[in-house]
Amino acid sequence: MVKVGVVGASGYTGLELVKMLVTHSGFQLTYLATTQGDTMIEKLHPSLVDVISLPVEKADANSVAERCELVFLALPHKASMGFAKALLDKGVKVVDLSADYRLELDTYEAHYCAHEDKAHLGDATYALIEYYREELKGTNLAAGPGCYPTATLLGILPFIPYLDTSAPLFVDAKSGVSGAGKTLSETAHFVTINDNIFAYNPIKHRHAPEIAEKIEKIHGAKMNVNFVPHLIPATRGELVSVYATLKEDIDPMEVLKKHYENDPFIRIRETPVDIKSTAGTHFCDIFAAKNGNALFVSSAIDNLLRGASSQALVAANLMCGYDEGMGIPTIAYIP
């Protein structure tokens, strides 16, 4: 059994990690922490009453290193990198769910803040599983992709060789409110989001450079990514629609089926996808169609799981020599 911990256990992604780790046959949950500490996990999350009872401590790198071989950091950007640096120097494997290690230095500093751990930044492996599976097996630092980039990249990457990359890429993305985290804000207030839908940070959102950077890294293609996220009145789930221009005639569905034929958590759908069918699972559902040279690709994920916590758990599985599907939820919750 590999001893693991979760730092940032009070948030939505922290809760999802704990729920999966409780029943994981290869990991033993030995440490839980927040910036405050001094409570119990079942008090933070009443859904865990009679499921697990563990103290939640104030986050401390020395305590993590003494009790864990691998730790999940479910912390905001900037807060994560300082903690990760200390842990990596102590020989602890890190799966970071923040943005701190998922981008090149120049891209990160242009859209977030000054980076405090340049020494380890080059050691990070981007945890988009289907494209970095082998690299994750040998890394000590996995950088979880953003939820929007996960859904976007899994949908569009198979088509990059067939696209006119000089034409703009348009991404229309919609997410449940849990993607905004637990911190209260006007846009996430019930009165604002109920019976409503709206865009936020259109075109200027910092996930756009992440999408563009990974397209270039994987395919060597520079693309103008126009990304527009929306909040929808749902707790969880994410639907991304991508619009691109083809440079040659293809059968989009055949491209998808061939590209992902060996990937167990990608489901190619014959009809347009929806968020309920992936809720509570690690699956990414993808559908594509074309009209002449106009390509439409749509993908659906659970933003808290495939977009964060279950993708982090798969990365940890690979880092520790386990099967990637160990402990991963696959049954959709449809009320």
Which amino acid, residue 121?
L
Contacts of residue 330, defined as CB under 8 A and 6 or more positions apart, other chains included, come to 265, 281, 282, 283
Distance, in Å, from the CA atom of 335 to the CA atom of 115, rounded to the nearest integer, reads 43
Contact call for residues 107 and 213 (beta carbons, < 8 A): yes
Distance, in Å, from the CA atom of 300 to the CA atom of 287, rounded to the nearest integer, reads 9
Contacts of residue 71, defined as CB under 8 A and 6 or more positions apart, other chains included, come to 4, 5, 6, 7, 31, 64, 87, 92, 93, 94, 95
Active site residue 68: no
Distance, in Å, from the CA atom of 134 to the CA atom of 187, rounded to the nearest integer, reads 40
User: Which residue from 331, 323, 265 is spatially nearest to 24, judged by alpha carbons?
Assistant: 323
Contacts of residue 88, defined as CB under 8 A and 6 or more positions apart, other chains included, come to 94, 120, 123, 140, 141
Distance, in Å, from the CA atom of 140 to the CA atom of 91, rounded to the nearest integer, reads 8
- What tokens were used for 44? 């933070």
Which one of 68, 113, 147, 284 is the catalytic residue? Answer: 147
Q: Which residues pair with 284 in a beta bridge?
A: 266
Distance, in Å, from the CA atom of 12 to the CA atom of 28, rounded to the nearest integer, reads 20
Catalytic center residues: 147
